[in-house]
A and B are shown apart, each in its own frame.
Chain A
Amino acid sequence: MHPARGFIDAGFTMDAIILQILNGLDKGSAYALIALGLTLIFGTLGVVNFAHGALFMLGSFCAVTLQKILSLSFTVEDPSQKDFLGNPLKVDTPYIVSWFGDATGNAILNWSVPLAILFAIPVMLLVGYVMERGLIKHFYKRPHADQILVTFGLAIVIQEIVKYFYGANPIPTPAPDAFRGSVDFGVLIGFAQNEIIYPYWRLVYFLFSALIISAVFAFLRFTTFGMVVRAGMADRETVGLLGINIDKRFTIMFGIAAAVAGLAGVMYAPINSPNYHMGMDFLVLSFVVVVVGGMGSLPGAVLAGFLLGILESFASMNEVKSLIPGIDQIIIYLVAIIILLTRPRGLMGRKGVMEE
């Protein structure tokens, strides 16, 4: 197989198309997860949350923090080894390794990103709860512009606090060794070897996001709590009149939305080393995704997330770029404009949402 094949004659063959779909899935998963959280918040509380990107970023930094905590180490002088000056070599041993022994300790360190999921869930739920009770609560009756402004201010504050503690540089947060490298995906679905190569972790990310999305939908669909929340999304006042404390449930939904964004961030850390402004980078695109999907529509947000992610990766194919120069830079916005002009409420939007 010639290495340059992809450039020369791969064209729009089946394997190239599958590869691009796969490439679009991981970014699409991130868009879908963030947009899902945004829509949950908008659909329940009617708040446009510009700090949602910052929550995604906080999730990534949960992974960084756990990695740092786990690799806290003490230094001992090892007299059996000498450094180049002839002094005893100083060896850093993480506490974890000394407590659990070499094998277990290193395994825990190695798996710090997946472990961070357990760490991030309570943290993000708490962050979401505090944010809603402390700040957002006071903005329900304010115009959307005020909500945007205050959450934008909050996003700046969160971002700067993270920058103060972690610095401005991206912090590499590797995936476990078991998931490094790539899977030969083509072989699994009947193609020749080395046709479709796909990094393991991205596959994990896609499966993980599919799991989270299904969990959120199942939670809303099959639990009493979810039923009440859905009823509240449709008609908050009536649910309130039935004697249900809908606000308390919406607060919890805010926490869940924050946790969804956080988990998206945790698992994204190995794909893109966390830095303090990654939230802002995702925020704008996620808003486009939400609007394309239709404000307030959860399936719409997920659909639009994957759709735009996949379209973006198709547009970055060399064949497409040579046809329409620069298309990879603008495809998402172009699609957003076309969809908004042809389908006024996005793909699956409800009538009368945010049109005042």
Chain B
Amino acid sequence: MLGLSKKDTTFLLIVMFLTLATPILLQPFPEASALAQFNAGYPDLMQRFAIFGIFAIGFNILFGLTGYLSFGHAAFLGVGSYSVVWMYKLLSYNVLPGLILAVIVSGLFALLIGYISLRRSGIYFSILTLAFAQMSFNLAYSVLTPLTNGETGLQVYTDDPQVLMDAASPTSPHFFGIVMNDVSKLDVGGWQFTFSNGYYFCAIIAIVVFYLSMRIFRSPFGIMLRAIKTNQTRMNYTGLNPRPYTLAAFVISGMYAGLAGGLLAAMDPLAGAERMQWTASGEVVLMTILGGAGTLMGPVLGAGFIKYFENIFSKINDNILHAWFSALPDGLEDAIVFLLHPFIGKGWHLTLGLLFMLVVIFLPGGLIEGGTRIWNAASGKNRKKKQDHADHHPKPSAHVN
């Protein structure tokens, strides 16, 4: 189907099902139960899953396939957001023109930055992209204020032209009349499911771009990109110039980032320069590596993982902890709450940092590798493979004793 092998079609169908059923799947606990804290099925968070999933999928096309580690992708995210808000200001709250402009502008921007940065590889490439992104960030805060509204952030004011607006059009972001913020709630038993237009809009776009990235992964172009990652010198010797391929990958991933940035502004009609800061670039790197760089599903998982913990852990406070452990004797309860206190609420960064470290230390291939290991252990594949390994290869000796 759609030019995919049978296996990939099944995979895509599973991804489609999971994405579309997210509002139900992420709401496993009844509303009244103590575990409802862990539910993630509310629109704001689900939209973030989808949007940062898109961002990470795009980043993975560059980093996962070619191995070029960009530290400046947040610039494209910011450019995307600004384009959409400008379209709101000039035309109307319809998101479509903005998203198209976001993809085009970020693509051009990526072409410029990529053309210059790709002259170098390795860490030099990373620093060049970082420098470009930080320059954009600093300029957006200072000199480009007429374009970006500086520290306040770009937003729509009542005296903006909005030439396509008429009395009937919605006053918040919409897609030909489908208002993004509208939700319909469904109560089943103790559960409450929220279906939001905004989420489904992002989800459908996410599925489309996931399909595109799948096609790229399986295409000759994708294989060429992998060849660049594996051995660029050898590619040069076979008479191929890798630059056009890496540049194409860079532009594509920049367009993905612009689309994600545009969608952020489609959910909330605001654009701020902080979206371009290097921490935002770092975040997408973390998402991709955490999930598993170079795998199709990994970056999406990584994005979901980070956004989930960011939202859930920051919401838990001492009272909730006391409620959980209220069955225990008082002294023990207080002790446990005291021990957990630094890790929750405002301290969620600490938890996230520790989780990163644990994942990187024990699962170098990211969450996907963790999943594969568990699968292999369950199906017994692992033992056989290990034995095979021991028979035919000498044990690798440590480089450092």
- Chain A: residues with CB nearer than 8 A to chain B? 48, 135, 137-138, 140-142, 144-146, 148-150, 152-157, 159-161, 164, 247, 280, 284, 287-288, 291, 295, 325-326, 329-330, 333-334, 336-337, 340-341, 344-345, 354-356
Contacts and interface: CB of A to CB of B under 8 A. Distances in A.
Nearest to B290: A149
With a 10 A CB-CB cut-off, give which of B141, B278, B360, B401 has the most chain A CB atoms: B360
B119 A291 contact: no
A355 B135 contact: no
9 contacts: A146-B364, A149-B290, A156-B353, A288-B127, A291-B127, A333-B131, A333-B135, A337-B128, A344-B120
Given A333-B135, A340-B124, 14 more contacts: A142-B364, A145-B289, A149-B356, A149-B360, A154-B357, A156-B353, A157-B350, A157-B357, A160-B342, A164-B342, A288-B127, A288-B130, A329-B141, A344-B124
Interface of B: 69, 116, 119-124, 127-128, 130-132, 134-135, 138-139, 141-144, 278-279, 282, 285-286, 289-290, 293, 342, 347, 349-350, 352-354, 356-357, 360-361, 364, 398-401
A330 B131 CA distance: 9
B43 to A, nearest CB: 28
Contact of B356 (A152, A340, A356): A152
Nearest to B123: A354
A225 to B, nearest CB: 19
A161 B347 CA distance: 9
A145 B350 contact: no
Mostly helix, strand, loop or mixed at chain B's interface?
Answer: helix
A200 B347 CA distance: 39
A131 to B, nearest CB: 12
Nearest to B365: A146
B354 A330 contact: no
B122 A150 contact: no
A329 B356 contact: no
A326 B353 contact: no
Contacts of B144: 326
Contacts, number: 126
A160 B347 contact: yes
Contact of B132 (A144, A159, A247, A333): A333
Given A140-B400, A325-B143, A329-B141, A355 B122 contact: yes
Contacts of A145: 69, 285, 289, 293
Contact of A330 (B138, B353, B401): B138
B357 A337 contact: no
B303 to A, nearest CB: 15
A355 B349 contact: no
A277 to B, nearest CB: 10
Given A330-B138, A355-B121, A156 B352 contact: yes
With a 10 A CB-CB cut-off, give which of A149, A161, A325 has the most chain B CB atoms: A149
Contact of B353 (A157, A280, A337, A341): A157
B124 A354 contact: yes
Given A145-B69, A355-B122, A336 B127 contact: yes
Contact of A329 (B142, B290, B398): B142
B127 A287 contact: yes
Given A48-B123, A326-B139, A153 B293 contact: no
Contacts of A137: 400
A154 B139 contact: no
Given A291-B124, A329-B138, A334-B135, A156 B116 contact: no
A306 B275 CA distance: 30
Contacts of A336: 127-128, 131
B119 A329 contact: no
Nearest to A141: B399
Given A329-B143, A333-B132, A337-B132, A153 B357 contact: yes
B282 A291 contact: no
Given A140-B399, A150-B361, A152-B286, A340 B342 contact: no
B349 A156 contact: yes
Contacts of B398: 141
B141 to A, nearest CB: 7
Nearest to B288: A145
A344 B286 CA distance: 27
B131 A149 contact: no
B354 A149 contact: no
Contact of B350 (A146, A161, A330): A161
A288 B352 CA distance: 26
With a 10 A CB-CB cut-off, give which of B121, B130, B399, B400 has the most chain A CB atoms: B400
A337 B121 CA distance: 13
B127 A340 contact: yes
With a 10 A CB-CB cut-off, give which of B116, B119, B134, B347 has the most chain A CB atoms: B134
A156 B356 CA distance: 10
A124 B342 CA distance: 24
Contact of B347 (A146, A164, A284): A164
A295 B278 contact: no
Contacts of A326: 138-139, 142-144
A242 to B, nearest CB: 15
Contacts of B352: 156
Contacts of B139: 326, 329-330
Contact of A160 (B121, B127, B350): B350
B108 to A, nearest CB: 18
A322 to B, nearest CB: 12
Contacts of A144: 123
Contacts of B356: 149-150, 152-153, 156
B134 A284 contact: yes
Nearest to A144: B123
Contacts of B290: 149
Given A153-B353, A156-B352, A356-B122, A247 B141 contact: no
Nearest to A142: B364
Nearest to A292: B127
A337 B130 CA distance: 10
Contacts of B286: 149, 152
Nearest to A48: B123
B116 A341 contact: yes
B385 to A, nearest CB: 21
Given A340-B120, A344-B124, A355-B121, A154 B130 contact: no
Contacts of A344: 120, 124
A160 B349 contact: yes
A344 B125 CA distance: 10
A340 B360 contact: no
Nearest to B355: A153
A142 B398 CA distance: 12
A119 B166 CA distance: 69
